[in-house]
Amino acid sequence: MDAGLLPAVTIAIPLLAAVLIPIVGKHENIREGVTITAAVTMLGSVLAMLPPILSGSRITIPLLPMVPGGDLALRVDAFGMVFALTAAVLWLLNSFYAIGYMRSLQEHAQTRFFFCFAVAIAAAVGIAFSENLLTLFVFYEILTIITYPLVVHVETPAAMKAGRKYLAYLLIGGIFLLAAVILTYILTGTTVFVPGGFLAGSGSALILQVLFLLFMVGFVKAAWMPLHGWLPAAMVAPTPVSAFLHAVAVVTAGVFGIVRVAGWVYGMDLMASLGLGIFLAVIASFTIVTASLFALTEDNLKRRLAYSTVSQLSYILLGVSMLSIAGMTAAMAHIPIHAFLKITLFFVAGAVIVSAGKECISEMKGIGRKMPVTALMFSAAALGICGLPPLAGIISKIYLALGAVEGGMPVLLLVIIASTVLNAAYFLPIIHTMLLQRPDDERSLDSVTEPPLVMLIPIVLTVAVSVWIFFSPSMPFMDLIDIAIAEITGSVVP
């Protein structure tokens, strides 16, 4: 198959699955088979594009002429591959996990669930492979709409309320994003991403700063404070949704967008001259610290993880704000690193719900005795986020530290240190509760065992990947990131 068609194929596969799923809906095993087959094929398609990208080329396909301002077009480059690869691998693992979760709890409306998932992943990959701002916007909005049924899946009044909040935040953000895209088009006549940016000189400093603010609000999916409220609210969703969408796809789409805008629309030099680095640094630092503090107060495990996500996402924003090579490397690297680690944590949260029916940390005392592997994986991932080797979290922290110094903002080192301390503060107690404490009532844990294998294996695998990234970081993520950084800084590909 001509490599040129692969980007379109990659998006078409989950869409095709989405069409098939309602048709075979009643036959559950066939339906899950469709999802799994699609996930495997899509991963294969993404991997097939890896060699040419690693050698430095990019694959472009124009799809459809759309409006003045941008055609619907796909372009696969190194940075897009980082997101796409993460999403593809995790969709596969998450699909297995979701099948196990939904069947164990005998959840209703599973066809709708898997349908929405398939379309959502297509949208996420579409965002990763967007050639221009308008294509990004199209897939971005599709992602918003299609994740709504997933958020309100349980259909309780609380879920509906959360769903409304979710939709309100994301749709309003979408309007700001549209305004930003249109403004970009008016200023420059194009919206195609150019490594190193294309906005320089197209407007006054004030306009460009306002534009960046519009972009920031538009990318509300990045959950930066104070516009983060939708993320903890969305935790009413079933855990596979929280795990994948709100630890990986939706939030990553948000930060991906901001990094794209910083590197391929503005360019690091322009951002420095407009003072946007400092602006971003302030927002990111505020979010990192405040979200961690909120996490400390939450007893519901998923909500605590949600605030942790909010905090971790701003690591990426912090990296961008440093406007240095190490900083950008940290930002791009944290996307897969955080994804794999965070999804593990959510997977475990879901496993506890399935096996023991417990959502609150205070009720999970001693659960590690009955679910040793699960609890161990949780501990590993949690410590990984704190920055403990051999899990990959330390890589981001080191690059962030380097970036802070390189970018001339050593005060950010304090932020990183404070954050690490807070990470430990809200994660260690969980580990302690799970592993070391005795349950209040010994017999309440009698029926608790490890979750079914189809859920357990993905948990172990995600941790394994995190370890693998640590030991061989170059393949493939760091290589891709190096190429991407080289693109936007204009230096030669190493």
Partner 1 sequence: MIDHLPVLLIAVPILSALLILLAGWYDRRFCYPISLITILLQFGAAIAILLEVMREGTIRYHLGGWAPPLGIELVIDSFNGFILAVILFLSAATVVYARRSVEKEIDPEKRISFYVLFQLLVTGLVGMTITGDIFNLYVFLEISSIATYTLIASARRPRSYVASFNYLVLGSIAAGFILLGIGNLYVATGTLNMADLALLLPASYGLATVHTAFLFLLIGFSIKVAFFPLHLWLPDAYTEAPSAVTVLISTVMAKVSVYALFRIVFTVFTTAYVIDTFAVTGFILFIATVAIIAGAVLAIAQNDLKRMLAYSSISQIGYIMFALGVANQLALEGGLLHILGHAVMKGCLFMVAGLIIYRMGTSQLSDLKGVAKTMPISCAAFALAGASMIGIPPTIGFMSKYYLVLGAFEAGQWIYAAVLLVGSLLAAGYIWRFIEIAYFGDHHSEDRRPAPAREGPVSMLVPMVALALLCLFLGVFVEVVMEAVRPAAMLLLGGA
Distance, CA of 380 to CA of 362 (rounded, Å): 20
Q: Which is nearer to partner 1, 139 or 224 (CB)?
A: 139
Q: How many Cα atoms are found within 13 Å in the side-chain-facing hemisphere of 90?
A: 38
Which residue in the set 69, 196, 439, 473 belongs to the binding site for partner 1 (CB under 8 A)? 69
To partner 1, the closest distance from the beta carbon of 235 in angstroms equals 18
For residue 155, state whether it binds partner 1 (rule: CB under 8 A). yes
Alpha-carbon torsion angle 272, 276, 279, 284, nearest 10: -90
Using rule CB under 8 A, residue 66 touches partner 1? yes
Angle ∠(281,275,323) on CA atoms, nearest 5: 60
Binding to partner 1 in span 206-265, by CB under 8 A:
none
Near partner 1 by CB under 8 A, which window of 59-67, 247-255, 294-302, 415-423?
59-67
Identify which of residues 166 and 212 has a Cβ nearer to partner 1 in the complex. 166
Q: What are phi and psi of 319, to 5 degrees?
A: -60, -45
3-state SS, 422-477, equals: HHHHHHHHHHHHHHHCCCCCHHHHCCCCCCCHHHHHHHHHHHHHHHHHHHCCHHHH
65 forms part of the interface with partner 1 (CB under 8 A): yes
Q: Which of 23, 30, 158, 175 binds partner 1 (CB under 8 A)?
A: 175
How far apart are the C-alpha atoms of 452 and 448, rounded to whole Å?
Answer: 11
* 402 belongs to the binding site for partner 1 (CB under 8 A): no
Q: CA–CA separation, 56 vs 78, rounded Å? A: 8
Least CB distance to partner 1 at residue 67 (A): 5
Is residue 145 involved in binding partner 1 (CB under 8 A)? yes
- Interface residue with partner 1 among 15, 171, 213, 373 (CB under 8 A) is 171
Q: Please tell me whether residue 67 binds partner 1 under the rule CB under 8 A.
A: yes
Please pick, from the candidates 91, 96, 137, 427, the single residue that binds partner 1 as defined by CB under 8 A.
137
Sign of the dihedral defined by the CA atoms of residues 433, 435, 437, 440, in that order: positive
Region 13-52 residues binding partner 1, contact defined as CB under 8 A: none
Q: Smallest Cα–Cα separation from 494: which of 59, 56, 51, 50?
A: 56
CA distance 132 to 70: 7
Token pair 């979010």: residue: 287
Task: Indicate which single residue of 178, 424, 454, 464 sits in contact with partner 1 (rule: CB under 8 A).
Answer: 178
Nearer to partner 1, 156 or 491 (CB): 156
Q: How far is the CB of 160 from partner 1 (least distance, A)?
A: 6
Whether the Cβ atoms of residue 325 and residue 481 lie closer than 8 Å to each other: no
Stretch that binds partner 1, among 176-184, 190-198, 275-283, 391-399 (CB under 8 A): 176-184
Examine residue 64 and tell whether it contacts partner 1 (CB under 8 A).
Answer: yes
131 binds partner 1 (CB under 8 A): no
Beta bridge partners of 71: none
Token readout for 224 is 């930066």
Q: How far apart are CA 64 and CA 73, in angstroms?
A: 7
Which ranges of 108-221 does DSSP label H, i.e. alpha helix? 110-128, 133-151, 157-188, 205-218
Closest to partner 1 by CB, 64 vs 206, is 64
Choices 48-56, 169-177, 262-270, 354-362; region in contact with partner 1 by CB under 8 A: 169-177
Q: Which residue number, 40 or 145, has a Cβ lying nearer to partner 1?
A: 145
CB atoms closer than 10 angstroms to residue 171: 14
Instruction: Tell me if 388 contacts partner 1 by CB under 8 A.
Output: no
Question: Tokens representing 126?
Answer: 């579409």
Asked if 138 interacts with partner 1 (CB under 8 A), we say yes
492 binds partner 1 (CB under 8 A): no
Instruction: Give ∠ CA 303-305-309 in degrees, rounded to 5.
Output: 115
**Contact residues: partner 1, CB under 8 A:** 64-69, 72, 137-138, 141-142, 144-145, 149, 152, 155-157, 160, 163-164, 167, 171-172, 175, 178-179, 182-183, 185-186
